[in-house]
A = this chain, B = another copy of it.
Amino acid sequence: MSFAVRPATQQLRPPGRTIINTLKSSTINDVARLAGVSKRTVSRVINGSQAVGESTRVKVEKVIAELNYSPSPQARGLASSRSYLLGLIYDNPDALYLDDVQRGVLEICSQLGYELVVHPCRYRSETLVQDCFAFINRSKLDGVIILPPVSELDHLASALKQAERPYVRLTSVLLDETYHSVVSDDRAAAAEMARYFAQLGHQNIAFISGPQRFKSSTERMEGFQLGLSAYGIKLRPDWIVEGNNSFETGIECAQQLLSGTDKPTAIFANNDQMAAGVLKAAHDLGIKVPDQLSVAGFDDNLLASRIIPALTTIRRSVRQMAQLAATKIIMDIEGNRHAAGHVAAKVAPTLVVRESTKSL
């Protein structure tokens, strides 16, 4: 059977037509028929098999392009038990972080033909593991990317490992093989903040930590303490208070810290939300920031640059971490675990100095 090749003058058609063509998708059979080869050969071309003659490949690719053909992920999945779907598992109150992650992951996904399915869940749920597996199985996800703090749950990870389901965890300390991990070095970042505070001349420094059950919290706290100790500064135990990362607890912790007779001259909070709470409390107490009190946060979320005074904070390149995670997981899915292990696993956050800190 022979076909006249349609000239590429599609511009002349009404735009609606093109769209409809795109909509009613053709199948592998159409391609095979038009190219005068077997299904199997088309399949080989689609999957980039080496065992295809150059001229055959060109011919098939041409037909594919003409037909605007793209294989059905459903049929593909059914036949090969893959779905070309990645899952994103999180229980994250920070919408900004989440959005960054999604964009980063999607940049890679769309290049490699995967889609992203989102799944908020409850970190503290008894049935978290079951929930996640139900999610994964329901849509036969090829793999999942897990965001903190859920990513810190070792029992989830080991269940995934046991089930041989590819996964990558975004964490703030290495908890798993490098092909399962992308970590932001929160410890080093907090140490850098300590150094900055010390060089500003602060001695009386307070720290508002996040929940101690989160690794990210302990990493930041320890990094901060370590950094300070290099300058011979030690945090007073009563100037270490714990919040839950919310704006409200930031206010409460700050009130506690700033109510005594001797007050700290600088406060480092575990995240920007709480730092914003500190700003609020200080404002209400009539304490001027940064003149009487320096304040810093962690995350560099939207708030940080909008608030008055703008927050000195730590910026993590969440987007980049997400890209790395997506790259790794797709490599793993496609049988390249070894290579995935060699993709960068650690991202260094950076200090962003704004208006909320000042030398003594």
Contact = CB atoms under 8 A, between A and B. Distances in A.
A159 interface: yes
Contacts of A19: 129-130, 133, 159, 162-163
A336 interface: no
A38 interface: no
A141 to B, nearest CB: 9
A308 interface: yes
A117 B120 contact: no
Contact of A99 (B72, B95, B106): B95
A58 interface: no
Given A102-B118, A302-B303, A20 B139 contact: no
Contact of A95 (B20, B23, B96, B129): B96
A77 B76 CA distance: 11
B70 A78 contact: no
Contacts of A129: 15, 19
A118 B120 contact: no
A140 interface: yes
Number of copies: 2
Interface string A97-120: 011101100100000010111111
Given A163-B19, A306-B307, A120 B102 contact: yes
Given A96-B96, A305-B247, A16 B70 contact: no
Contacts of A159: 16, 19
A132 B307 CA distance: 36
A313 interface: no
A20 B162 contact: yes
Contacts of A75: 78
A25 interface: yes
A74 interface: yes
A163 B303 contact: no
Interface string A251-289: 000000000000000000000010010011001000000
Nearest to A95: B99
Nearest to A88: B118
Contacts of A78: 72, 74-75, 78
A134 interface: yes
Given A16-B162, A120-B103, A133 B95 contact: no
Given A159-B16, A162-B16, A137 B74 contact: no
Nearest to A76: B74
A306 B116 contact: no
A318 to B, nearest CB: 11
Contacts of A279: 308
Contacts of A136: 23
Interface in A39-81: 70, 72-75, 77-78
A70 B22 CA distance: 32
Given A23-B165, A70-B134, A115-B139, 7 more contacts: A18-B130, A19-B133, A85-B117, A95-B302, A106-B118, A279-B308, A280-B308
7 closest Cβ pairs, A-B complex: A95-B99, A74-B77, A95-B96, A23-B163, A74-B78, A95-B95, A276-B306
